[in-house]
Amino acid sequence: MAEQFVFGWHAVEAVLKREPERLLQVWIQTGRQDKRVKSTTELLDTLGVSWEIVHRKLLDSRVGGVHQGIVASVSESREWSEDDLLALLANSEKPPFLLILDGVTDPHNLGACMRTADAVGVQAVIVPKDKSATLTPVARKVACGAAETVPFVRVTNLARLLRTLQEQGVWLVGTAGEATVTLHQTDLTGPLALVMGAEGKGMRRLTREHCDQLINIPMVGDVESLNVSVASGVCLYEALRQRSAKG
């Protein structure tokens, strides 16, 4: 059984709340005796999950990030496939609302995008299997639990999936600095997949060609572009604003 580490209180608590069967072992830093530790250990005892109070050095050796005094060993989560995604959309009563990340390789950016996706109600985050960040422990920590709530779909052929989504009536909106239509001039209320490219390079050519519409984020300062997680947040919240107003 494949094993991975999850660290940080939000990330561990998300697994504990939503997928407790994945928990194998939990380590908590010595010196903490607050209510959060007490409630967590009591729940772990109820579930029969082994836990241990350890020195910080052991936690530091387990993971390469700010662990906040808690690390969990978990079984690897099931990876969503293209078929899983299409089944999810077919069974949903809400119009599709998706985030597609093309070429985003930084796990910090991926985690931040996952966190925002959860906040606005995105139904799934989609990435290509090649040249893309995956849900590493760092990405899960930055996501603050969203990696356990938002389906993460890795596809072998992103262009094929984009065509399939279009056939399902999903409108593909990509961001590009040279686009002449702005985010605020665009209708984002229907079945929607927002396509974001990596900072600097942007979307790959084939991905760009499959988009139904290209838009830009208005920029009035001196910087030429936004970090992809910030840009995703701006676009997703504009979509949420429009969709909430319509609803």
Q: What is the pLDDT of residues 135-194, one digit of tens each?
A: 988 898 899 888 888 999 999 999 999 999 999 999 999 999 889 999 999 999 999 999
Asked whether the CA dihedral 210, 216, 222, 226 is positive or negative, the reply is negative
Choosing from 30, 51, 75, the residue where a domain stops is 75
Judge whether 197 is annotated as a binding position: yes
Give the domain extent around 30. 3-75
Judge whether 100 is annotated as a binding position: no
Model-level pTM?
A: 0.83
State whether 144 and 192 are in the same domain. yes
1: pLDDT strictly greater than 60? no
State whether 93 and 178 are in the same domain. yes
In order, the DSSP letters of 194-218 are EEEEBTTTBS-HHHHHH-SEEEB--
Q: Give the model's pLDDT for residue 222.
A: 78
Choosing from 32, 54, 75, the residue where a domain stops is 75
Q: Per the structure, how many domains does the chain have?
A: 2
Average pLDDT value over all residues in the chain: 91
State whether 26 and 95 are in the same domain. no
State whether 138 and 97 are in the same domain. yes
State whether 91 and 111 are in the same domain. yes
Judge whether 217 is annotated as a binding position: yes
State whether 185 and 104 are in the same domain. yes
* Residue 75 amino acid letter: S
State whether 225 and 137 are in the same domain. yes
Q: Give the model's pLDDT for residue 171.
A: 98
- 207: which residues sit within 8 A by CB, 6+ positions away? 102, 158, 159, 162, 174, 195, 197
